[in-house]
């Protein structure tokens, strides 16, 4: 059985392996022992903390195969970005150059450095090992975050965003960054990406161009990747689009990958969540469908995927003893259910 749960300190070796496997451009998991251990400790503190409104909490989850004990994936939520460290984006917009006298009218795309997402909740750090990308595992690892947010709404902002990994090659080279490097920086993309991941962001403010960048002055290769995602990220952005996330012109400052956003109340899984009281017994057979199930706990949070039949007119759900045990719930507890 596959479950998703909060990370714990003993998961460090598995998290480092995920950081190594994820490759360049995965900013939130740099290959740094001290940083990863601090991320785990911060997550453990966040899950155990009493919260009335979102602050600098970070919730890091792992997917575990209970049959083997192997940790095979991770995903995370940042409660409110940019409160301590500036959270940068480029915003893609237009300016008009016109002259009636010369009969010239031209719309030009520009990129403007901004901090517009300060205080928003961020979905991040989503990665699943290749051999587990089947049977709905990827969807569960991503979507269960919405169930956690629904159960603990006071911990999250009304606006939710996700930065999508932009285009880079197998060596970690980004066409967009290559242009910035040539004109403003003297470091390659993997180095800049790594420094950001370990929290050293001062160089961004010091070296980034202070004025809007005219897109038509960029190299053709750089222009072509603005707002485009890495091939490995395509399934993730399609999933978020199906949940109601939209692209509103914000792109990453390093690889120009798109940032998508949604109002938390408009996210499909959150709207579809149902609370049911647990009854333990033999599960009904019939026209079965796949559902995500999660408990309402914090440190002991669990989520999993199960095929089952639901009675639309009932306020209860019958779980097998095995499912109840995996979810860490007892008869009479309330769980959340949402269709996969």
| Tens digit of each residue's pLDDT (9 = 90 or more) over 128-165 | 998 998 889 999 999 999 999 999 999 999 999 999 98
Specify the DSSP element, H or E, that contains 318. Answer: strand 316-319
More confident residue, 86 or 145: 145
Percent of the chain whose pLDDT exceeds 70: 91
The closest alpha carbon to 308, from 328, 329, 330, 278, belongs to 278
SS3 23: coil
Instruction: Quickly list DSSP for 185-221.
Output: -SS-HHHHHHHHHTT--HHHHHHS-SSPEEGGGS-HH
Q: How far is CA 8 from CA 46, 47, 82, 336, in A?
A: 12, 11, 25, 23
Bridge partner list, 176 = none
In this prediction, residues 26-43 reach a mean pLDDT of: 85
Query: Tokens for 111?
Result: 């990129």
SS3 58: strand
Quickly name the fold that domain 273-339 has: Barwin-like endoglucanases (2.40.40)
Which residues have a Cβ under 8 Å from the Cβ of 288 and sit 6 or more positions away?
307, 308, 309
Q: What is the mean pLDDT of the chain?
A: 89
Question: Cβ-count burial of 185 within 10 angstroms (0-12 exposed, 13-18 middle, 19+ buried)?
Answer: middle
Binning pLDDT at 50, 70 and 90, where does residue 315 land?
very high
Res 198 pLDDT > 70: no
Chain-centroid distance, C-alpha 50: 23
Binning pLDDT at 50, 70 and 90, where does residue 197 land?
low
In this prediction, residues 238-254 reach a mean pLDDT of: 94
Would you give the end-to-end CA distance of the chain in angstroms?
Answer: 16
Residue 202: the pLDDT is: 58
Q: From the candidates 91, 152, 230, 296, give the one annotated as an active-site residue.
A: 230
Q: Which of 77-86, 123-132, 151-160, 205-214 has the lowest mean pLDDT?
A: 205-214
Question: Cβ-count burial of 23 within 10 angstroms (0-12 exposed, 13-18 middle, 19+ buried)?
Answer: middle
For the chain, the domains span: 2-89+114-268, 273-339
Percent of the chain whose pLDDT exceeds 90: 64
Reply yes or no on whether 91 is catalytic: no
- Centre a 10 Å sphere on the Cβ of residue 220 and count the other Cβ atoms it contains: 8
The closest alpha carbon to 81, from 118, 47, 116, belongs to 118
SS3 126: strand
Q: How far is CA 19 from CA 3, 65, 199, in A?
A: 20, 19, 16
The closest alpha carbon to 139, from 290, 295, 325, belongs to 290
Which class in CATH covers the domain with range 2-89+114-268? Answer: alpha beta
The greatest distance separating any two alpha carbons of the chain, rounded to the nearest whole angstrom, comes to: 81
Res 250 pLDDT > 90: yes
The closest alpha carbon to 276, from 317, 241, 221, belongs to 317
- Centre a 10 Å sphere on the Cβ of residue 253 and count the other Cβ atoms it contains: 19
């Amino acid at each position: 059985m596959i479950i998703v749960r909060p990370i714990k300190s003993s998961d460090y070796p598995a998290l480092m392996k995920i950081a190594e496997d994820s490759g360049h451009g995965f900013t939130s998991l740099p290959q740094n022992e001290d940083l990863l251990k601090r991320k785990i400790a911060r997550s453990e503190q966040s899950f155990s903390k009493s919260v009335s409104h979102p602050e600098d909490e970070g919730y890091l989850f792992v997917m575990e195969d209970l049959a083997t004990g192997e940790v095979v994936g991770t995903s995370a939520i940042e409660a409110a970005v940019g409160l301590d460290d500036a959270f940068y984006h480029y915003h893609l917009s237009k300016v008009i150059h016109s002259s009636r006298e010369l009969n010239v009218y031209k719309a030009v795309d520009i990129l403007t450095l901004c901090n517009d997402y300060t205080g928003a909740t961020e979905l991040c750090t989503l990665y699943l090992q290749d051999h587990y990308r089947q049977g709905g595992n990827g969807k569960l690892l991503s979507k269960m975050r919405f169930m956690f947010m629904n159960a603990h709404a006071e911990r999250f902002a009304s606006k939710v965003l996700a930065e999508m990994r932009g285009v880079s090659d197998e060596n970690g080279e980004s066409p967009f960054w290559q242009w910035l490097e040539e004109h403003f920086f003297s470091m390659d993309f993997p180095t800049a990406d790594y420094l950001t991941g370990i929290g050293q962001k001062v160089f961004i403010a010091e070296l980034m161009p202070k004025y809007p960048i005219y897109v038509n002055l960029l190299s053709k290769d750089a222009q072509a990747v603005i707002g485009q995602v890495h091939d490995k990220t395509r399934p993730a952005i399609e999933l978020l689009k199906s949940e109601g996330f939209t692209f509103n012109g914000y792109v990453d400052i390093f690889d120009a990958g798109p940032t998508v956003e949604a109002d938390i109340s408009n996210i499909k899984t959150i709207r579809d969540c149902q609370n049911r009281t647990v009854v333990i017994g033999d599960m009904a057979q019939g026209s079965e469908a796949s559902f995500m199930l999660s408990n309402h706990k914090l440190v002991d949070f669990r989520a999993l995927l199960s095929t089952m039949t639901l009675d639309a007119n009932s306020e209860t759900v019958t779980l097998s003893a095995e499912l109840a045990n995996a979810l860490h719930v007892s008869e009479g507890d309330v769980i959340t259910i949402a269709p996969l």
